[in-house]
Amino acid sequence: MFEKMKQLMDMRRMAQEAEKRLSEVRIEKAALGGRLKVVIDGNHRVESVFMDDSLLSPGQKTTLEKALAALLTEAAEAVKREAAAKAMEMMKGMKIPGM
């Protein structure tokens, strides 16, 4: 019983460590020739958005909306891939009950 509790505590510690590592990850993505940029962290928090002034004209509204949506999706997918890679790295050599 104590061994299982120790394993659970180890897994909890590793989950906390993984969350801390992910908070340090920064993903930057750009679109429209660098005129639109976003930076998000490993916990999917948007840290910054940059838009060139040329994108703020009324004629660019639809372009900006579509590019921003695509850029945020792309950045979120990159964070997922990074999180999966870090999780696999941390799980190497672990003896996980039931696996």
Render pLDDT for 46-85 as a digit per residue (tens, 0 to 9).
999 999 999 999 999 999 999 999 999 999 999 999 888 8
pTM of the model: 0.73
Give pLDDT, residue 27. Answer: 93
**What pLDDT, on a 0 to 100 scale, did the predictor assign at position 59?**
92
Predicted confidence at residue 52, as pLDDT, reads 95
Cβ neighbour number for residue 93 with a 10 Å cutoff: 5
Percentage of the chain beyond pLDDT 90 is: 53
Q: pLDDT averaged over the chain?
A: 86
Q: Which residues of 25-40 are buried (b: 16+ CB within 10 A; e: fewer)?
A: eebebbbbeebbbbbb
Name the residue among 50, 57, 56, 58 with its Cα closest to residue 34: 50
Domain segments of the chain as ranges: 2-91
Residue 93: pLDDT band with limits 50, 70, 90: low
Integer angstrom CA distances of residue 90 from 10, 20, 40: 12, 13, 22
pLDDT score recorded for residue 97? 56
SS3 state at 36: strand
Which of the four pLDDT bands, split at 50, 70 and 90, describes residue 24? confident
CATH number of 2-91: 3.30.1310.10
Kind plus residue range of the DSSP H or E element containing 48: strand 46-51
DSSP state of 52: -
